[in-house]
Amino acid sequence: METRTITQGARPVRGKQRARPLWRKFFTPYLLVLPAVAVIFGLVIYPLMFSVFSSLHVDDLLYAGIHTYIGLKNYRQVLLDPSFQIAVRNTLVYFVLATIGVLIIGLTISSWLHSIDLKWRGLFLTIVILPWAVPGVVTGLLWSFIYNPTSGILDGVLRSMHLISQNIVWFCHTSMSLVLITVALLWQIVPLSSVILLAGLESIPPTLYEAATVDGCSAVRRFFGITVPLLRPSLAIVLVQTAVLSIGIFDQVYVLTGYDPSTKSAVIQTYLYAFQNLNFGQGISAALLITLGITVIGYLYLRLIYREVAY
Amino acid sequence: MKSKSVIWGMGSLLLVGTISACGSASKTTPAATGYKAGAINRQYAGTTITVLLPPYGAMPQTQLAKFTKETGIKVNLETLAWADIHDKIVTAEAAHISPADVTEVDWSWVGQFSQAGWYTPLNNYIAPKYLANAINRNVFTINNKLIAMPYNFGFKETTINWTDFHKAGITKAPTTWAQVLQDAKILKAKGVVQYPVGFPLSIGESNSTNWYALIKSAGGTLFNSKWDPQFTSPSSPGYQALVFEKKLYQDGLMPPGVVSLHNAQVQSLFASGEIAIALTSGPLFMSSFKNPSTSKVASDHLQIIPLPGNDGQRTGTFGLPEGLGIPELSAHKGAAAEFINWWMEKPQLLLSYNDPNMGNPPPQLDVLNQLAKENKIQDGSEIMSILPTVKPLFSQGTPVWYPQFSTDAATMIQSVVEGHMSVKTGVTTLASEVKQMVQSAP
């Protein structure tokens, strides 16, 4: 077996070089990362650990001074609470609808942006990205004006097109309400997804498509054979982002339908536990369960979809 | 605003425990602070107090400057939306930090705040003359402890637009629910307004409080002394009120959009002339209805009338006052008490009523009487005639589970009026939820 040794003489030494003390050499890297570690520990690790600790104890503001250890009772109560179960069901609907919407609309917009001339792309990209910059509450208010059954734009447009004769109360049906709220959510999250997917599309060398065309591949084949596999890193990021925003949906739901059980999300239920019922133990437990759900879904996305791509 | 507060709040859920260990409550009494109830002097000169109130509680800076000149106490006024103030108080108290030295205390928060022991009893901090004259003081009193001093008084009444009524040929104000239905049908049929009646039906406090108001106006009550629900029987005012609300909505007499509107938004519909009957309005709104810059009906003949009852049984309404409280954790209780006493003086109460951004009806009976006599209060005679019928919603004091009940009630009402649930199912479900709340209450 061939072995290689690197001798000290292999590296040219310029002038006099003072030897650094061993302890300094050893500790310097740790000292350099210490501020970042301290910040992460102080703002993430410790609060998270404390939250887990609190969730295992009585933490009800109406029972001041009582912090008895109760194990997983808070989690059990939250999971068995029909209100939380309904909220989780609603949240899953938002998540599924938002994922489908982002994939279809996001891919369509990014493909369109990718196809247009470079000199126009900047302009359209700016227009597309605008809704992303609008805060969630404003988005909710905007869509509440659109859906308003008395003076809303949507009813007005449909009436002017003679598609309806009387104004429709859009939030009167549960399934319709969930879809309408998802539309408001998509309006906010699709822009960034489109930009991420556009970046992915632009990184695919055009030569691959040219070669495939020469080989006689159809457009559909090129999409599923080249575009989709090479977009996997971008898709994974987009899907994780969609999962985080749709499972954590609050603003749009709160503004459009408030605490309505048929539409309230898991985060709204968490808010109610903590700020309406003043039961922080249950609130923290619900928040941690939601965090766990997002983490698991994010991990699965990265594990199953994300792949390093090299050209 | 809501978004920010929620994100802040959710973050606080994770961070709050971190801070909680650092705080310590300092309990003080008037004797400990050296404050003599009602005194306005320079005892606390140099102190800065923080005051946290909703926008309509924002006393103009020029007036606050007068307080500073008089007492030497500087006032740092923070304004937040009403619901956000609740969240801020909860988060701060959970972290053992005083949310401010003087804060808003709504009547509906009294049960929880009292149980949690977050507010200083003001019995010995407020001048006896102000205590004696305070309207709705009992709403803020639990176990003989006054946890806030009312800075306005609110009650549910009905405001009608006589100009619209006359256009439709109606000459008599409605006194019963049946008459409201009849008048609304005439107003609609004659094309005066498409949707004559306004009543918020979104899932929120304003929806449920209006239902309680109708119950009160029909001589009913929500609970008996043992907290047993009194709204499940079909002949009960609570049941009947739901039937009435459903009929108004289903017959197209209310704008369909009210299912997503809060009270202030419904009052805006009245101000814009889109409705002729603000069924459950409040005296707080009259000044904005009469203000041409905020109302299209300012020149119309508007009138406050008592809430219509059921079959002529019009017995009263309930008070929804807002108060000024001092958190137990405040480090400046004496100065804070001085501020509250100063607010109760006539010039401040008048300004708080007359300022177009505030519009708080004065909660001191002597000031209100004087205003009514001098004809300086909108519909003063009507208000003064309704006032004796204003009672607390809960004679035993607001229960700790009230906020949860309020949300559940609003949810049920919306489902009923939209036809997703029958009245019977709605009231039965709510009654069983109440039983659970009562059982699990501290």
Tell me the CB-side half-sphere exposure of residue B293, using CA atoms within 13 A. Answer: 2
A62 secondary structure, DSSP code: T
Confidence at A12, pLDDT banded by 50, 70, 90 = low
| pLDDT over 50 (residue B344) | yes
Both structure tokens of A107 = 């891919």
Residues A151, B268: Cα–Cα separation, whole Å: 14
Bridge pairing between strands B322-325 and B74-79:
unpaired
Residues B128 and B272: beta-carbon distance below 8 Å: no
Q: What is the pLDDT of residue A5?
A: 47
B342 or B28, which is more confident? B342
Smallest CA–CA separation between B145 and chain A, in Å? 17
Which of B10, B15, B118, B262 would best serve as a mutation to test chain A binding (most A beta carbons within 10 A)?
A: B10
Whole-angstrom distance, CA of residue B134 vs CA of residue A207: 83
pLDDT at B24: 36
Q: Which residue has the higher pLDDT, B375 or B25?
A: B375
Strand B102-106 relative to strand B48-53, pairing: parallel
Per residue in A149-188, pLDDT (tens digit) is 877 899 899 999 999 887 888 887 788 999 999 999 999 9
Contacts of A254 in chain B (CB under 8 A): 2-3, 6
Cβ of B260 within 8 Å of Cβ of A257? The answer is yes
CA distances from B324 to B106, B140, B341 (A): 9, 10, 10
pLDDT grade for B312, boundaries at 50, 70 and 90: low
Q: Which amino acid is at B39?
A: A
Nearest chain B Cα distance for residue A144, angstroms: 9
Model pLDDT, residue A100:
97
pLDDT beyond 70 at B185: yes
Bigger pLDDT: B101 or A148?
B101
pLDDT, position B18:
40
User: Is residue B424 predicted with pLDDT exceeding 90?
Assistant: yes
Confidence of residue A218 (pLDDT cuts 50, 70, 90): very high
Residue B276 neighbours by CB distance under 10 Å: 29
Note whether A267 contacts B411, CB cutoff 8 Å.
Answer: no
Q: Do A276 and B403 touch (CB under 8 A)?
A: yes
Q: Is it the case that residue B393 has pLDDT exceeding 50?
A: yes
Alpha-carbon distance of B407 to B115, in angstroms, equals: 20
Nearest to B3 among A50, A137, A256 (CB): A137
Residue ranges and CATH numbers for the domains of chain B are: 2-154+321-384 (3.40.190.10), 157-318+401-440 (3.40.190.10)
* pLDDT of amino acid B275: 95
Compute the mean pLDDT over every residue in chain B, rounded to the nearest whole number. Answer: 87
Q: Which residue has the higher pLDDT, A266 or A165?
A: A266
The highest-confidence range among A19-33, B200-214, B302-316, by mean pLDDT, is: B200-214
**d(Cα B237, Cα B217) in Å, to the nearest integer?**
9
Q: Using one digit for the tens of pLDDT, what is the confidence trace for B3-22? A: 444 444 444 444 444 433 33
What does the domain layout of chain A look like in residue ranges? 21-55, 78-304
Residue of B13, B116, B274 with shortest CB distance to A287? B13
Q: Could you tell me which chain B residue has the CA closest to the CA of A275?
A: B87
- pLDDT tier, A9 (very low <50, low <70, confident <90, very high otherwise): very low
Q: Which residues of chain B neighbour A249 with C-beta distances below 8 Å?
A: none
- Look at residue B361 in the predicted model and tell me its pLDDT: 86
Q: Smallest Cβ distance to A275: which of B87, B256, B410?
A: B87
ipTM of predicted complex: 0.73
- Confidence (pLDDT) at B3: 47
Judging contacts by C-beta atoms under 8 Å, the chain A residues touching residue B440 are none
* Residue B117 or B2, more confident: B117
pLDDT score of B313 = 61
Q: What is the pLDDT of residue B128?
A: 93
Which residues of B are less than 8 Å from A172 in CB distance? 259, 418
CA-based nearest distance A281→chain B, Å: 9
- Looking at residue B357, the DSSP 8-state letter turns out to be T
Task: Name the residue among A62, A151, A272 with its Cβ closest to that of B116.
Answer: A62
pLDDT of residue A16: 56
**B342 or B30: which leads in pLDDT:** B342
- Residues paired with B322 in a beta bridge: B106
Region A98-105 average pLDDT: 97
Closest-approach residue (CA) in chain A for B416? A172
Check residue A170 and give its pLDDT.
86
Name the range with the highest mean pLDDT among A10-24, A53-67, B295-309: B295-309
Q: What is the mean pLDDT of residues B140-159?
A: 91
Band (pLDDT 50/70/90 cuts) for residue B314 is low
Cβ distance B400 to A62 less than 8 Å, yes or no, reads yes
Contacts of A259 in chain B (CB under 8 A): 203-204, 407, 410-411
Q: CA–CA separation, A204 vs B179, rounded Å?
A: 72
Query: What integer pLDDT is reported at residue B30 of this predicted model?
Result: 61
Average pLDDT of span A113-138: 90
* Nearest chain A residue (CA) to B16: A47
Candidate from A120-124, B331-335, B394-398 with smallest mean pLDDT: B394-398
Pick the CATH number of A78-304 from 3.30.710.10, 1.10.3720.10, 2.60.120.200, 3.30.230.10: 1.10.3720.10
Is A271's CB within 8 Å of B6's CB?
Answer: yes
A250, A276, A289, A294, best to mutate vs chain B, most B CBs in 10 Å: A276
Q: Which residue in B120, B64, B123 sits closest to B332, CA to CA?
A: B120
Question: Residues of A with CB below 8 A from B14's CB?
Answer: 47-48, 50-51, 284, 287
- Answer yes or no: is pLDDT of B254 > 90: yes
Please report, rounded to a whole number, the percentage of residues in chain A having pLDDT higher than 90.
68
CB pairs under 8 A between A and B: 115
User: Does residue B102 surpass a pLDDT of 80?
Assistant: yes
User: What does the pLDDT read at residue A130?
Assistant: 92
- Number of Cβ within 10 Å of residue B108's Cβ equals 19
Whether A148 and B202 lie within 8 Å, measured CB to CB: no
User: Using one digit for the tens of pLDDT, what is the confidence trace for B34-81?
Assistant: 777 777 778 899 999 999 999 989 999 999 999 999 999 999 999 998
The more confidently predicted of residues B393 and B326 is: B326
Question: Measured in Å, how far apart are chain B's first and last C-alpha atoms?
Answer: 32
Report CB contact under 8 Å: A47, B17.
yes
Which among B86, B203, B257 has CB closest to A259?
B203
pLDDT (mean) for B323-350: 95
Chain B residue with CA closest to A290: the answer is: B10
User: In angstroms, rounded to a whole number, what is the distance separating the alpha carbons of residues B258 and B211?
Assistant: 14
Pick from A271, A113, A79, A295: nearest CA to B404: A271
User: A279: which DSSP letter?
Assistant: B
Starting at the edge strand that comes first in sequence, how are the strands of the sheet with B302-305 ordered? Answer: B197-198, B277-281, B157-161, B302-305
Residue B262: per-residue pLDDT: 82
> Span B214-243, mean pLDDT?
93
How would residue B26 be classed by pLDDT, with cut points 50, 70 and 90? very low
What does the alpha-carbon distance between residue A235 and residue A107 come to, in Å, rounded to a whole number?
9
pLDDT tens digits for range B193-224: 999 999 999 888 889 999 999 998 998 899 99
* pLDDT score for B203: 87
Residue of A nearest to B111 (CA): A62
The predicted pLDDT at position A259 comes to 86
- Mean pLDDT of the A82-94 span: 95
Tell me whether residues A47 and B18 touch, CB distance under 8 A.
yes
What per-residue confidence (pLDDT) applies to B352?
92
- C-alpha A99/C-alpha A93 separation (Å) is 10
